[in-house]
Amino acid sequence: MEGPRLKILIADDHELVRDTLAAFLEKENDIEVTSVEDLTAAIKTIKGGIRFDLVLLDYSMPGMNGLDGLEQAIEESIGRPVAVMSGTAPKAIAQEALDKGAIGFLPKTMGAKSLVNAVRFMVAGETFVPVKFMTEEVVEDINPLAKGLSARELDVLNGLCRGLANKEIARELELQEVTIKLHVKTLSRKLDAKNRTHAAMIAKDAGLF
């Protein structure tokens, strides 16, 4: 007889990432995945009545606003585990996520087997962060292009790479549109870009997003 299935919610704005993670997890007979594209949809789904055994949030998707979205999701999950995943966030962000109550932090570079093991570990109530990720003495593996940019500038650049208009980026980051314009100007100068499209192109070519 089949036991109860583990219900996992994945929130990520990149469809390919969502589909890949869901495919990894659903190969397991006892895991059922629901996937959504941003924090708003994640909160709505959490409130929708399904008791998720684990919620996985992408650090840089719309609505997250740094780790504010994590705190919101933890509050709505009422004691059930919430973890953060990212392809670019450094160690300091992973540590901050744990300090704010995340059950774990998953780099998106994890293989299928490691991901499944990590998910089972967190569902069991254990905190998970890859030891190698937290202890590696690499000079933070930051993309050289990102080194001269502030966290906020990276957020704006991420928006540019997704083809968002200033108004949309402003809404997503809860800032004034005029502030975004200033960030775009600074980014163009720092990246030696002719305009916003060129800045996004430079970032994509450098593998930043």
User: How confident is the model at residue 138, as a pLDDT?
Assistant: 47
Long-range contacts of 194-197 (CB under 8 A, 24+ apart): 196/160, 197/160
User: How confident is the model at residue 3, as a pLDDT?
Assistant: 64
pLDDT, average across residues 90-103? 91
Write the CA distances from 95 to 14, 41, 53, 83, 209, integer angstroms.
Answer: 24, 25, 22, 12, 22
Long-range contacts of 61-64 (CB under 8 A, 24+ apart): 61/11, 61/12, 61/13, 61/37, 62/13, 62/37, 62/38, 62/172, 63/38, 63/39, 63/172, 64/39
pLDDT tens digits, one per residue of 117-163? 999 999 999 999 987 777 665 444 556 777 778 888 889 999 999 89
With 70 as the cut, is the pLDDT of residue 207 above it?
A: yes
With 80 as the cut, is the pLDDT of residue 183 above it?
A: yes
User: How confident is the model at residue 33, as a pLDDT?
Assistant: 97
Going by pLDDT thresholds of 50, 70 and 90, the confidence category of residue 2 is low
With 60 as the cut, is the pLDDT of residue 13 above it?
A: yes
Q: Given the structure tokens 């996937």, which residue do they identify? A: 35
What is the set of domains in the chain, with CATH numbers?
6-135 (3.40.50.2300), 144-205 (1.10.10.10)
Report the helix count and the strand count for the chain, using DSSP H and E.
10, 5
Q: Which of 69-73, 141-145, 188-192 has the lowest mean pLDDT?
A: 141-145
